[in-house]
Structure formats: structure tokens, C-alpha cells
Chains A and B, each alone.
Chain A
Amino acid sequence: MLSKLWNLFIGFTRASNLGFGGGPALIPLIKAEAVEKYQWLDNQEFTDSLAICNALPGPIATKMAAYIGYKIAGWLGAFVAIIGTVVPTVVVVVLLGSLIMKYSNSPELKAMLQAVRPVVVVLVGVTAYDMGKKSFPTSSSWGIAVVTVVLLYLTNIHPAFIIVGSMLLGYFLYGRKKKDVK
């Protein structure tokens, strides 16, 4: 049991600390640990777990850690795998963040941040573009996008309502039709 927990901790720490680019970048690394190295799951089970996690909101890496950890070693396994995924990078980000707060008036830090902000804008823009390439298969998806822009810029509506509304719309537009065929 203890070696199982240790392996979960090491496996998820390694995957998380080698993957740059947020949760989705960690998926192949988690697969390398869970399927190839420790053989906790086979390929099909891994694909199923990914489908389950994608059906739910929130960061993907912590959901994968919970699912696999729980399967291998119960609640304690889920806990240990999540700690491995989250704690090391969060501690480093907090330490860097506190440095930024402490030296917020230093000209050196200001210079570095001024240069890095355009980079972040582009990186987030690229994320939107890359996701967008896969997200507009039909003209109705464009319609949803246009309505979203209008609601975001012209009203004060919380995006929660737009998200829930678009899912209901998706259910009526895409979900039921295919169900009838089936």
C-alpha cells in the first residue's frame, strides 16, 4: 500500500513538473506514467478516464490524478496524486509571486514585466485561436460566438449564464437530433 501511494505521488509529481503549458499539456505525460511505466491502466481505460474528465468542468490534470489515484489506492490515493500534481508548482508560483509583490517598485522588475505582458497577451490569443480552429464546425457555432460577443460587451451578464445557456442550446441543436437517429 505504501509503495503504491509513493508511486502515485512520484508519478504525478514527475508528470506535473515536466509539463509546460497547463493541464492539457500534462495529459501525454500522465499517460506515460499511468499506462506505460506503472501500468495502472491500459490504453482503453486511459481513454475512458480522459472522456470522463472532459465531461466535467475544471482543470484536467487534477481530475485525472483523482480518478487514477482513487482507482489504485482509494481516497488516500486520490489525495496523494493530487498533492503531487499541485503542491510543487503552487509553492514555486507563490514564492515568485511574493517576490513580485516585494519588489513591485524596482525598475528592473517593472522592465521585465513590461516586456513579458505582450508575450502573455499573444500566448492567450494563440490559445483562443488554436481552440477556435476546432470549435467552429458549423454556422450555428459561429452564431453562438457572435451572441457571446454581444452579451459580453453590451450587457453585464455573468458568463455563467452564457455558458449554461450555450450548453442548453447545444443540447437542443446537436444533442437530440443524433439521439433520434440512434
Chain B
Amino acid sequence: MLTELWNLLIAFGRASNLGFGGGPAVIPLIKIEVVENFHWLSNAEFADALAVGNALPGPIATKLAGYVGFREAGWLGVLVANIGVILPTVLAVILLSGFLMKYSNSPVLKGMLRGVRPVVVILIAKTAADMGLGSFPNLTTWGIALATVVSIYWLKLHPALIVIISMAFGLLVFR
């Protein structure tokens, strides 16, 4: 139990503290810890966790920490995983805000963030690709993917709404 909690703290602390670009940049790093390092979830189960997270409001990283933390170690796991996500960066924001205020617009920091951005994009794209491997068992699922693209770019439907509609559709068609 204690090692499980420790692993949750390390996994989510590491993912959060390496993700530059807010919650979405943290998703691939959480996936690497949860699916590849610690094998808490499969790629498909990670997609389920993201689906639940996307159907709800609020920051995504803390919701994933809650979801995975609970599966592995109950409410204590929820707490520990969220402490890993939140505490280090929050302490940094409060304790270093004077220092950061001075340097947040410096070309040095901007250059470093510009260097890391393409890496973040690739990591997110790879997350989609990895989850995609198990997510298209039949032609209908490809149709759902196509409908999702149309819904986002042309119909401008809200992602949370698309998640809920697709689940209702699945209930009717795949059962």
C-alpha cells in the first residue's frame, strides 16, 4: 500500500512538473507513467479515463490523478496523486512569483519554452496514436471518428457534448 502511494506521488509529481503548457501538455506524461511505467491502465482504459475527464468541467490533470489514484489506492490515492500534481508547482508559483515576475518575459525563458513546444506537440500526437491502436476494431468506430472531426470543426459542438452523444450512440448500436 505504502509503495503504491509513493509510486502515485512520484508518477503524478513527475508528469506534472515536466509538462509545460498547462493540463493538456501533462496528459501524455501522465499516460507514459500510468500506462508504460507502472502499468496501472491499458491504453484503452486510459482513453476511458480521458473520456470521463473530458465529459466533466475543470482542469484535466487533477481529474486524471483522481481517477487513477482511486483505482490504485482509494481516496488516499486520490489525495496523494493530486498532491503530486498540484503541490510542487503551486509552491513554486507562490515562493518564486517575485523572481518569475522579473523573468517571465525574458528572451531566455521564452527561448526555452519555444524549444520545448514542438516536443509537447509530438508527445500529445503520440498519445492519440497509442490510444488509437486499440480504439478502432470496426468500421463504425471510424465513422464515429469522422463524425467527431466534423462536429468539432464544422458544427463547433462542445467536446463534452460529443463525448456524451457518442456514448448514447454506442449504447444503441454496439450493444
Query: What residues make up the interface of A, taking CB atoms closer than 8 Å to B?
Result: 16-24, 26, 48, 51-63, 66-67, 70, 75, 78, 82, 85-86, 88-94, 96-98, 100-101, 107-108, 110-128, 131-132, 134-137, 141-142, 144-145, 148-149, 152, 158-160, 162-164, 166-171, 173-176, 178-179, 182
Q: Which residue of A lies closest to B92 (CB)?
A: A56
CB-based contact B58/A131 at 8 Å: no
Check A90/B107 contact, CB under 8 A, given A111-B170, A113-B48, A115-B141.
no
Q: Which residues of B contact A132 (CB under 8 A)?
A: 121, 125
CA distance A113 to B17 in the complex (A): 30
**Residue among A21, A86, A114, A117 with the highest chain B CB neighbour number at 10 A:** A117
> In the complex, which of the residues B67, B122, B142 has the most CB atoms of chain A within 10 Å of its own CB atom?
B122
User: Considering only CB atoms, which chain A residue lies closest to B99 in the complex?
Assistant: A52
| A131 engages B24 (CB within 8 Å) | yes
B170 contacts which chain A residues (CB < 8 A)? 111-116
A-B contact pairs, 30 of them (CB 8 A): A16-B59, A54-B113, A56-B96, A57-B16, A57-B17, A58-B88, A59-B16, A59-B26, A59-B85, A59-B86, A59-B89, A62-B59, A89-B58, A90-B63, A112-B167, A117-B47, A117-B48, A120-B47, A121-B47, A123-B54, A125-B128, A126-B152, A128-B121, A131-B117, A159-B28, A167-B115, A170-B112, A175-B112, A178-B107, A178-B110
Q: Report the bound CA distance from A125 to B159 in whole Å.
A: 13
By the criterion CB–CB under 8 Å, are A169 and B107 in contact?
no
When chains A and B are docked, how far (Å) is the Cα of A22 from the Cα of B58? 6
Chain B residues, Cβ within 8 Å of A58? 16-17, 19, 26, 61, 85-86, 88-89
Residue in chain A with minimal CB distance to B84: A58
What class of interface size applies to chain B in its complex with A? 35 or more
Q: Is the CB of B111 within 8 A of A170?
A: yes
Do A118 and B142 touch across chains, with their CB atoms under 8 A apart? yes
- B124/A124 in contact, CB under 8 A: yes
How many angstroms from the CA of A154 to the CA of B16 in the assembled complex? 25
- For residue A158, give the distance in angstroms from its CB to the closest CB of chain B: 8
Indicate with 1 or 0, residue by residue over B111-132, a CB within 8 angstroms of chain A CB atoms.
Answer: 1111111111111111110011
Contact with A along B51-83 (1 / 0, CB 8 A): 111101111111101110011000100100010
Least CB distance from A30 to B in Å reads 11
